[in-house]
Structure 1
Amino acid sequence: MAQSRAVTGLHDVELAALAAAGDRAAFGELVRRHGSAVRGLLRRMGAQPSTADDIAQDAFLTAFERIAEFRGEGTFAAWVKRIAARLYVRKWRKDSRMTDEVEQDDEGHGGEVSTVSRIDLDEAMKSLSEQERLCVSLCYGAGLSHAEAAETIGAPLGTVKSHVKRGLDKLRLRLAPAEGAGRDAERQGHV
């Protein structure tokens, strides 16, 4: 019990060093701290909840096996999110090869606008095409550069940049307050 309390107060870099030395409790604390963020990223990338759970588990297993490679130059959360994002991309590419209908299906759903006045980011992400969602999630959720995202999904850099730009433009439109609401707030002196 005292050992589990001892790891909760440590920084991620210290926990990673202990995990590299074989301390499973230290790695368990890293999983506890960052598991939900990794699953959240995967869901925003388009994974169903059960798939997100499976890929997150695989990502943490990979991280455990490669923990000695974590040098603490960035955050542990960003490092494990990159692993998870790459695993998801591999699955996505494999699934895309199995069916040609994925792109056509997503293009038909990409522009729908919900009538609900309050839309959160997860709902807005669902309005993007699969490629836009993937590229935006890799670049902004997993912290990859455009070039790293292009390499990860095997697409030209310009294509990734286009998907990110279109995706961000769609998100801005979806998440922006209604045009009249902004003017009303300005008139009342609230903005």
Structure 2
Amino acid sequence: ADDVAQDAFILGFEQVAEFRGEGAFAGWIKRIAARLYLRRMKKDARLFLTDQTPDEEDHSALDEPRTASRMDLDTALKALSGVERLCVSLCYGGDLSHSEAAEALNLPLGTVKSHVKRGLDKLRARLAPEAGLGATRLGHV
């Protein structure tokens, strides 16, 4: 997260002439950070998928459950709509508050909260049965 913030400030400094002053400068920087975060997530996802070749000698028995859960989560995240995945990723993967995510995405706060709630509900519904957890137990994690 620190790398993304630093990169956002550097990019903002380099592109400060493009800031039109229509909104808060902090919001403009947060939007840059959100875009950088998403690019990094996509890049990391591609690297994760290309690094995970089916080679039995490289995987220990302890890594299999973790790899399976990671793949389950990746599959569940892909089932979300783009905006739900973005809001959930920023709020939970990017450690932004709902307000910060709303500002970064230029969306109303209520809309971001709705997308996060719907996204989490869909993730719970997909992951709870596979993990052998009840929806109520997973809901309190």
TM-score tier after normalising by the smaller chain length: 0.3 to 0.5
TM-score, normalised to structure 2's length? Answer: 0.48
Structure exhibiting the larger radius of gyration computed from Cα positions: 1
Of structures 1 and 2, the one with the larger relative CO (CA 8 A, separation 6+) is 2
